[in-house]
Amino acid sequence: MEQKLQSVVNTLTKKKKPRVVVLCGAGISTKAGIPDFRSPETGLYSNLQKLSLPYAEAVFDIEYFRKKPQAFYTLAEELYPGKFSPTKFHYFIRLLQDKQLLKRVYTQNIDTLERIAGVKDEYIVEAHGSFATNHCIDCRAEMSSEELKRQMDDKASGGIPRCAKCKGYVKPDIVFFGEGLPARFFDLWDDDSEEIDLAIVAGTSLTVYPFASLPAEVEANAIRLLINKEHCGDFKQNPRKTDVLALEDIDEVAETLARLCGWEDDLRRLVETT
Ligand code: CNA
C-alpha cells in the first residue's frame, strides 16, 4: 500500500501548490455509523423491508414521496444530522483545506459531516443537496429546519411536515431521483475539472449520474486515487496508467496517507479537538 501511494504522497508534499479535489460518497461516513446504500448486508437498500417499498430507490423518488412521504421521513429520522461525528477521512479533507491544498470537495452525502469537520462552505459542493434547507414540494415556500424538525417530532399529527401556506408536503432540499442537481455543482465543476493535480475519489460505488461521470472528466495529466472497498466506475472501465487504487478501508488509508505525508500529528489533533 505504501509503495502504491507514493505518487500521491509526492504530489501532496513535493509539488508546488498542488490542487486537490475530493469526490466522495456514502462510504466515507459508514465508520460514523451511517449506513451506505449498497454495501451488502449493512447498506440501507438491504435493510429497507420495514418501509414496505415497491423498490429500494423509491425512498428517494420524488413521485413516490408525493404519494407516500412516510417512507422518506422514517429514514430521515435515522439520518438527521446532529447524531453523528465525522470520520478520520472527513478530518483528512479538513487537513487538506488547512494545508491550502484543497480546491474542492464534491460530496454525494447529505449528512453534512464535511461541514462538521470544519471544511468551509466555499470548498464544499453538496451535489445531492442536504438537510440544511427545506421547501414545500408544491408551492416551493421555505420552511426553517427548526419547524421541519418540530413537525417531524409531532407524531400525534403524523410526523410529516406540511406547508403553512398550501398544506403541501415539505421535504429537505435533498436531490431525489427525478430532480435536478444544484447549479453550483455544474458551475464549479466546469472550472475545477480543468485545474486538478490530484483527484481523490472515495467511498462511492460510482453508480449515480451525473456524479458518477466526474472521474472520467478529470484531465489526463492529473493523478486519480480511488479509495474504496470495490473497484468501480471509470477506474474499472477506462483505467489509466497513473491511477492509484487503494481498495481498503477509507479511514485506514487516510491514516496511512497522513503518516506518509508527515501529517500524522496534525490529523490526530484535528480528530481529538474538533
Ligand atoms: P453507495 O452506492 O452505497 O456506495 C458506497 C461505496 O462505499 C461502496 O462501493 C462501498 O464498498 C464503499 N464503502 C463503504 N464503506 C467503506 C469503507 N469503510 N471503506 C472503503 N469503502 C467503503 O453510495 P454512493 O455515495 O456511491 O451513492 C450515491 C448516493 C448515496 C447519494 O445519492 C447519497 O445521497 C446517498 N447516501 C448518502 C448517505 C450519507 O449522506 N452519509 C448515506 C447513504 C446514502
C-alpha dist (Å) from residue 271 to 86, 105, 116, 234, 274: 8, 19, 12, 32, 6
Peptide bond between residue 210 and the one before it cis (omega within 30 degrees of 0): yes
249 lines ligand 1 (CB under 6 A): yes
Q: Which residue has the cell 505525508?
A: 261
In this structure, what C-alpha cell is assigned to residue 119? Answer: 471544511
The pLDDT, as a whole number, for residue 199 is 98
The pLDDT, as a whole number, for residue 47 is 67
ipTM, two decimals, is: 0.96
The pLDDT, as a whole number, for residue 185 is 97
The pLDDT, as a whole number, for residue 74 is 86
> What does DSSP say about strands 129-136 and 142-143: parallel, antiparallel, or unpaired?
antiparallel
230 lines ligand 1 (CB under 6 A): yes
Q: How far is the CA of 228 from the centre of ligand 1 (A)?
A: 9
36 lines ligand 1 (CB under 6 A): yes
> What does DSSP say about strands 20-24 and 102-107: parallel, antiparallel, or unpaired?
parallel
202 forms beta bridges with 24, 227
Query: What is the C-alpha to C-alpha distance for residues 110 and 102, in angstroms, rounded to an integer?
Result: 20
Q: How far is the CA of 6 from the centre of ligand 1 (A)?
A: 26
The tens-digit pLDDT sequence of the chain (274 residues) is 888 999 999 999 999 999 999 999 999 999 999 888 777 777 777 667 777 788 878 989 999 999 999 999 988 888 888 889 999 999 999 999 999 999 999 999 998 999 999 999 999 999 999 888 999 999 999 999 999 999 999 999 889 999 999 999 999 999 998 889 999 999 999 999 999 999 999 999 999 999 999 999 999 999 999 999 999 999 999 999 999 999 999 999 999 999 999 999 999 999 998 7
Is 128 tagged catalytic? Answer: yes
Rounded to the nearest 5°, which phi and psi values hold at 270? -65, -45
Q: Summarize the annotated binding site as residue ranges.
A: 26-30, 36-38, 108-111, 136, 139, 163, 166, 204-205, 228-230
Query: Which of 36, 72, 207, 230 to mutate for ligand 1's pocket (most ligand atoms within 8 Å of CB)?
Result: 36
Q: Give the pLDDT confidence of 39-96 residue by residue, as tens digits.
A: 777 777 766 777 778 887 898 999 999 999 999 998 888 888 888 999 999 999 999 9
**CB 38 within 8 Å of CB 204:** no
The pLDDT, as a whole number, for residue 82 is 83
In this structure, what C-alpha cell is assigned to residue 181? Answer: 442537481
The pLDDT, as a whole number, for residue 44 is 74
Helix (H, G, I), strand (E, B) or coil at 10: helix
The pLDDT, as a whole number, for residue 39 is 75
Task: Record the pTM.
Answer: 0.92
Q: How far is the CA of 190 from the centre of ligand 1 (A)?
A: 24
Q: How far is the CA of 34 from the centre of ligand 1 (A)?
A: 9
Count of C-beta atoms within a 10 Å radius of residue 243? 17
- Which residue's CA lies nearest to atom 19 of ligand 1? 249
Q: Indicate which atom in ligand 1 lies nearest the CA of residue 30.
A: 15
